[in-house]
Amino acid sequence: MGIQCVDCVKEASRAVPSARTMFGGTVRGGRPVVTLTIVGLCVVSWVLQLVTGGEWTQRWAFAPSVGLDEPWRFLTAAFLHSRSPLHILFNMYALWLTGPFLEQAFGRGRFIALYVLSAIAGSVGYLLLADPMGYAWITPVVGASGAVFGLFGAIIPVLRRTGRSAAQIVVLIAINMAIPFFVGGIAWQAHLGGLAVGLAMGAGFAFAPRERQALVGWLLPAGVAVVLLAATLWKYASVGWL
């Protein structure tokens, strides 16, 4: 019976190129770790919202009036939800439908970038369309909807790249974009912001030439982050807050 050198096996495994998806993501077996982690963080955060009597919500929710002094709220609001179980259940269900697919397609790193920037874009979208003299400027918003709409948007170019129809996801987006016009209390501006970033990043990741996928994986998120920052600073400057 032969004996294998452990160090030799490790060295050989490093030399074997890892399998990649057509979008450049590393093919991984097992559970969608990033998606499950996001779901876990949202659930834990929601429980804290309930047990603290709203204090947790007030600490991390986003409102244009506090975003400049506490910029982390642009992201942390995406891990909060209303007290109604339906809000978090819908968002987590939508995340579970789309997250594992995109996490596998793009790889964990780019999927995290997509989710985080879509979440921030939701807050930026709300900020850009808020009237500084209106109630929306001081009204806190919460929810992962901006990030979820980013995932919805990213799926469209992925399906087109693989030659599959995106009609169903387009109809789903249209329905969900229409709901706020019939049901009050929904920040459609956040949906729009997340959707725009998701479409842009999804298209960039999906159609990048194979030899440039790694480069695009770094440059595209950096470019989107710069655009979001510039848009945020422009809005605050336009109302005399800078």
* Residues assigned a catalytic role: 145, 191
Rounded Cα gap, residues 235 and 132, in angstroms: 10
Q: In which residue are the tokens 């876990």 written?
A: 40
On the CB side of 105, CA atoms within 13 Å amount to 21
Tokens of 233: 């600073």
| CB-based burial label for 226 (10 Å; 0-12, 13-18, 19+) | exposed
Q: What torsion do the CA atoms of 176, 44, 119, 37 make, to the nearest 10 degrees?
A: -100
- Crossing angle between the packed helical segments 108-128 and 33-51, to the nearest 10 degrees: 40
Q: What is the chain's alpha carbon radius of gyration, rounded to the nearest angstrom?
A: 20
